Structure 1
Amino acid sequence: MLCVEETLGVTGAAQIPHQRGELPLDCAVRYTEERHWDVFPGTWLEAVAGTERCSCGDPACASPGAHATGPDWAQQATGSAPAARRLWSERPRAAVLLPTGRTFDALDVPESAGFLALARMERMRLTLGPVTWTPDRRLLFFVLPGAAPKVDGLVTGLGWVPAAIDLVTHGEGGYVAAPPTRLGGHGAVQWARRPTPANRWLPDADELISPLAYACGRDAAAERARKR
């Protein structure tokens, strides 16, 4: 089984470690040590009557196994590797969640638009940060903090209507799920571009917004055409 970067043919993927079998504890500790990201444990999946359900107990949970356990999650978040090790030692199956608006924001787009934008960014030789690929078919591009307040203005400046394209920004007060967090029975969050020394310095939203808005706009237009 190939990792996502190898599947996409991204340059340098041969050096990227295999993602399969990584434990939440190991990943959480590595994110704090190597990227200085804050982390906090979320819910997890439990076997109930032959199926997997979210530890929150809600059978209709919208994000089973991949959301915060309570409203105080921001206070639980830590950038300390020993603290992260302790937290996941207590809850080894807990989701690995990363607060946004601290060391990064995330630009969240549909899978089809995300891969189109990635290909275009490759051709443009843009500097990219890490990118996650979620089981609910979304790609999240990590950018410098502060993106959330300005994205709508950037999109409008490019001639797109923000409400008409599916481009969501996760900023201050939010969080995203990181690999190897599992989302219900749909699979695990993966890296489309893993964190490496080469992408330690994140791009600003301004640098990525044009190909992302274009790809999302094209996606939205195709969806409208299908519905006619």
Structure 2
Amino acid sequence: MRWNIRPPFARVALRRSAVRYADHLWDVVPGAWLEGGRFACERPGCPTTSCHPAIDGWERGASTDQSTVEGWWQRRAHAVLLATGHAFDVLEVPNSLGGRVLAAARMHAGVLGPGRLQVRGPVAATPLGRWMFLVRPGDPLRPELENSLDVVRHGTGSWVPAPPTRLPQGAVRWVVPPEEVAWSLPDSYAVQRMIVDSLLTNLDRAPHLPRQLSTARRAA
């Protein structure tokens, strides 16, 4: 009978996380729910089977209102999606690059001390091998990164899946939970500088790998 118990537990965990994000003014969007190996929603004729928003006009519908967010998770274990471009942007990179950038950020923070250079912030990882660095919103990609196949910036009009959302390959998780950095966000260009440095440092040492699948793309 465990199959009757697990879905409500999953829904409660997703709802609690969604409410916590909303409480910190991160715009929440209910995503389609996972059924087997595909995502389903209640929009008639929806052809999308990958992770996607479960509501029409999701950009306008994204909310930080606690009662609204709680209501979305009353019946369904919706994926928790966060709209980008308002409270934060996301810099998405492969996990190998993400690990190097995070190590550099920790080293810089340790050398300079707290408050001297805010380079550490929340970092999430998907089971598809992508790391997502949450940064202050508004800054475009540096010229060195505009044509990089490894770096994706999620700004206005985009969204990302947030922990503890489950994808068919596994769960989205926090590498650096927001609580660890007091929900603060680093400067986007400071993180991008570290990405550029990591790419240049490893350009000749690392073999080229095919680009891994990105997380959520902009909805049509």
Gaps of 5+ in 2: 1-9, 110-116, 211-220
Choose 207-216 or 197-206, whichever is displaced more: 197-206
Q: What is the aligned counterpart of 1:36 among 25, 32, 37?
A: 25
Q: What is the aligned counterpart of 1:94 among 78, 89, 98?
A: 78
Asked if structure 2 preserves the Cα contact closer than 8 Å seen for 1:107 and 1:169, the reply is: yes
Asked if structure 2 preserves the Cα contact closer than 8 Å seen for 1:165 and 1:217, the reply is: no
Q: What is the aligned counterpart of 2:197 among 196, 214, 225?
A: 214
Gaps of 5+ in 1: 1-20
Provide the residue aligned with 2:159 in structure 1. Answer: 175
- 2:135 paired with 1:143: yes
Q: TM-score, normalised by structure 2?
A: 0.76
1:94 and 1:117, CA in 2 relative to 1: closer, same or farther beyond 3 A?
A: same
CA distance in 2, matches of 1:225, 1:46: 31
Asked if structure 2 preserves the Cα contact closer than 8 Å seen for 1:130 and 1:195, the reply is: yes
Which deviations, in whole Å up to 9, do the C-alpha atoms of 1:48-92 show, x marking residues without a partner? Answer: xxxx3221588983x3xx32135511122110111111111132x
1:135 and 1:217, CA in 2 relative to 1: closer, same or farther beyond 3 A?
A: farther
Q: What is the aligned counterpart of 2:187 among 195, 204, 208?
A: 204
Asked if structure 1 preserves the Cα contact closer than 8 Å seen for 2:89 and 2:136, the reply is: yes
Q: RMSD of the alignment, in Å?
A: 2.6
CA distance in 2, matches of 1:197, 1:120: 17
> Shift in Å at residue 146 of structure 1?
0.1
CA distance in 2, matches of 1:96, 1:43: 9
Q: TM-score, normalised by structure 1?
A: 0.74
- 2:96 paired with 1:104: no
The structure with the greater share of residues assigned to helix is 1
Instruction: Tell me the percent identity.
Output: 37
